[in-house]
A and B are shown apart, each in its own frame.
Chain A
Amino acid sequence: MSAIPSPDEGLTPAELAARYGLAVSGARPSLVEYVRQLWSRRHFILAFSQAKLTAQYSQAKLGQLWQVATPLLNAAVYYFIFGIILHASRGMSHDVYIPFLVTGVFVFTFTQSSVMSGVRAISGNLGLVRALHFPRASLPVSFSLQQLQQLLFSMIVLFLVAIGFGSYPGMSWLLIVPVLVLQFLFNTGLALIVARMGAKTPDLAQLMPFVLRTWMYTSGVMFSISKMMADRPEWAVRLLQVNPAAIYMDLMRFALIDGYGASNLPPHVWAIAVFWAVAVFAGGFVYFWKAEERYGRG
């Protein structure tokens, strides 16, 4: 009844859209275009991760001090249980074992919390996904970035622990940077994968803590794999050692702790570390992008 005569009368909607250059709303962009869009949102990704980090402790009296206090307390609890009660050090001296344990806990927590926040990245932010337009990969990437910043706070504690137990800053500490970059790539890839899975099946958030705990106990967070498995066949030791979590932990310990030499590392350790980072990140990114237009359906 409101039809106003127009020169476009008689065109089908699709033809009309084509004539004026209208695009289908909500269609998935090409991979290259997607990367470009994501890059143009880098400020949002960073600001969002920082905002989340700040909001975390904004109601606490001690405020941002908890950024450092939380990892410190974590390390203390693990030391109490594994160092004092269970004697998991297995012949490692005190000066090596404590930084060994703290490094392990922090580095593994970085991966663990990236995965946990990745699972909920989409399913826990449906409001945002349904209200605003942005490449959805911004969310899991932003959450891993938040965890990276959290780890940087933990690194302050870690440095203090290392120095306190006689490992002083040296050239090898520079290796921390590439290790962090590689682990961040790996974590982000993993977060992207679980984010897509968690968007389809929110139940994964319930399941994930168990998977992650199993992973933690097999990764040698509290014990040295090569010492614990000393009487087992070498292939079994190697199998546990190529586990990406174990690789990044061992590299970080190697960089940081004086008494933790190259003999504790599996062969080709850097190649494996790069492989995990690149393969999981690239694979995770493509996997996440493939479902881009379906996020937010609920």
Chain B
Amino acid sequence: MAEQNAEHTARQDTAGTGERRPTVIADDLHIVYRVNGAKTGKGSATAALSRILKRGEERGVRKVHAVRGVSFVSYRGEAIGLIGSNGSGKSTLLRAIAGLLPAEKGKVYTDGQPSLLGVNAALMNDLTGERNVILGGLAMGMSREQIKERYQEIVDFSGINEKGDFITLPMRTYSSGMAARLRFSIAAAKDHDVLMIDEALATGDRKFQKRSEERIRELRKEAGTVFLVSHNNKSIRDTCNRVLWLERGELRMDGPTEEVLKEYEKFTGK
């Protein structure tokens, strides 16, 4: 364990000036989702009406306390894996760090603008891959010149054109693997201060997975911090040097990859 800690520190020191600069500070963070119309009980129109009439403490709205009091500090040069069973609040935590979900209590401080590797939402299936590259790039805040510069790189990385001229076809004609590869390629094209990846590595074939892991290591070198959510312990081992383990919205463990994964595997009975 001491050995791992030493390695952990050493890696951070090689990144940057040697001074440990925090990139993300989460301070007792709580996230609560409000879900409309998911109130337990009758879902009929009359029930809805009576709920409106009985306006109490936000009736008809159910609260989901997804993250409960998580605190941690991440530093430049770290690649942090987020693990935990389904519904443990991993993705929610990422969104909160990115400032996309408002915190109920507590605060997140960040250096620069953390970005989620989630350009998917901006892409349109009815448009060609080509136009989606441009649209996705713009949505991430790249300039037109930057996109023009990187366009070929993105297409080559995605490997979309390896089997013919697919980039000029609408995205709805792509296989799910191809679409996922293009999405990852677009998202990974930008240099980010803090990059967050939500189970993106599970997509694509083995060759593409290798290439994306490579790209993530590169991004980590160029940028500050990489966060990676994954259920694949191997890809966490390959890319991350620190792991946060979330369970029921609480931070259960925080430490070097091997140490946390060993406990996690014991917990999941692997």
Contact = CB atoms under 8 A, between A and B. Distances in A.
The answer to whether A and B assemble together is yes
A25 B99 contact: yes
A274 to B, nearest CB: 32
Interface in A5-52: 6, 8, 12-14, 16-17, 20-27, 40-41, 43-44, 47-48, 51-52
Contacts of A54: 126-127, 131
A55 B135 CA distance: 13
A249 B101 CA distance: 41
Interface stretch (A126-134, A224-232, A254-262): A126-134
Interface in B243-270: 253-256, 259
B109 A132 contact: no
A22 B9 CA distance: 22
A297 B102 contact: yes
Contact of A14 (B98, B107, B140, B253): B107
B110 A23 contact: yes
Interface string B40-76: 0000000000000000000000000000000101000
Interface residues of B, number: 61
Candidate in A13, A17, A23, A128 with the most chain B CB atoms within 10 angstroms: A13
Interface residues of A, number: 45
B240 interface: no
B43 to A, nearest CB: 15
B5 A17 contact: no
Given A13-B71, A22-B109, A133-B141, A2 B121 contact: no
Contact of B102 (A4, A22, A294): A294
Nearest to A19: B22
A202 B61 CA distance: 13
A134 B99 CA distance: 11
A268 B170 CA distance: 50
A256 B210 CA distance: 63
A24 B36 contact: no
A125 interface: yes
B25 interface: yes
Interface of B: 5, 8-9, 20-28, 33-36, 71, 73, 95-103, 107-111, 113-116, 118-122, 124-127, 131, 134-135, 138-141, 143-144, 170, 242, 253-256, 259
15 contacts: A2-B254, A2-B255, A4-B5, A8-B22, A17-B109, A23-B110, A26-B99, A41-B141, A51-B135, A130-B101, A133-B99, A133-B141, A296-B101, A297-B33, A297-B102
